[in-house]
Structure 1
């Protein structure tokens, strides 16, 4: 919240919103801009929309779609815990973590580029703060969001440091994309470690490098 207040982003783009847990916390903590959430799973989308309705115009839910690099339709892997669902296939390493990470079903979902969704929602003015929790599909989202990235004053990405999904990008690849778009690493929040203590997952925060952050 401190960073959001400093950066004064007009819109927080909540890509991979799930039921809206992150957005709800941000709004309740005092964020004064507008949250725009994106989610693909049908039943989760319904819960997300219900949560957003309580906040009026402060919280907008985009049409249901998986944010990706192309417009179309694609198979989406739904895991038993729902939160680990992804456009990508889970690796054997991930499946060994427990039954809740196994695939419950595979469904067809529409895919949309973030740039196109932003345009369709009429977000033509103001800056963005981009939050992404898309389970290995970060490179797809970023490939479809060059214009959105240009208007982003910061970003929060959930990344895995070991392969949880087939074809997921490395953190270095993601860092290269962010850096090439004028965003620099600002903070790291570890959230997942393996049984041997190795760091496997973390949230990383980026800010635009040409901005003055603090007095």
Structure 2
């Protein structure tokens, strides 16, 4: 069936959805991945020959991450909770799916897609902005031209705390929903507005989980305007 969208809009949507979600990795040399979990993407990053800095806040998951990264000399990890403020205490909720849905925010409509996910405990963690994290660990930010976030609703806080660094990134990717998956979370429209206001445009957008009541989770990548 033919689309009823205006032709220009249809072409743009088809182009965005047709791009490989991680195709941009061919165009970068280094990645900062905030919300690492156990480093699931480490092999893919290695295939692209990338330098990678992983950031993971959960102590037990971080131990597994470091072990997983041992065979990859160009990849390193630091344990930290990246937010918009330095040294502020946060209640960080640990989820029962190996920590993959852990967040500083309460679960909300996330349950509509993954009803079995729940929090099992809470840790008190200190937040840190990305610029401060790099400075404290004597990491040169110029070595990384892509930022990837999987922080379960706090993506906007990460970006707000990293505004001084944004001009150096050519690509920024996030996992984000267009509904309130977590209470008060960053949603796709919020992220779009922030990125547009900081000189980025959408490069690709791929839905990967849909909500029966409407809405979806997306992998969305933004590219700095030329």
Q: 1-side partners of 2:188 and 2:211: how far apart?
A: 17
Deviations 1:108-129 (A, max 9, x none): 1221101111233321434420
Counterpart in the other structure of 2:25: 4
Counterpart in the other structure of 1:147: 164
Contact 1:17 1:23 in 2 (8 A): no
Query: How many residue pairs are counted as aligned between the two chains?
Result: 202
Deviations 1:33-73 (A, max 9, x none): 310000011111001111112112x00112x1111011223
Post-superposition offset of 1:98: 5.0
Q: 2-side partners of 1:66 and 1:151: how far apart?
A: 21
Counterpart in the other structure of 2:82: 67
Contact 1:76 1:109 in 2 (8 A): yes
Contact 1:39 1:45 in 2 (8 A): yes
RMSD of equivalent CA atoms = 1.7
Q: 1-side partners of 2:112 and 2:201: how far apart?
A: 34
In structure 2, the gaps of 5 or more residues are 1-21
Normalised to the residue count of structure 2, the TM-score between the two structures is 0.83
Deviations 1:158-184 (A, max 9, x none): 001111111112312211111122111
Q: 1-side partners of 2:176 and 2:23: how far apart?
A: 22
Counterpart in the other structure of 2:93: 77
* Larger displacement relative to structure 2 (41-50 or 65-74): 65-74
SS where residue 71 of structure 1 aligns? coil
SS where residue 134 of structure 1 aligns? coil
Segments of 4+ moved more than 4 angstroms: 96-99
In structure 1, the gaps of 5 or more residues are 211-215
Contact 2:104 2:154 in 1 (8 A): yes
- Larger Rg: 1 or 2? 2
SS where residue 91 of structure 2 aligns? strand
Counterpart in the other structure of 2:176: 159
Normalised to the residue count of structure 1, the TM-score between the two structures is 0.87
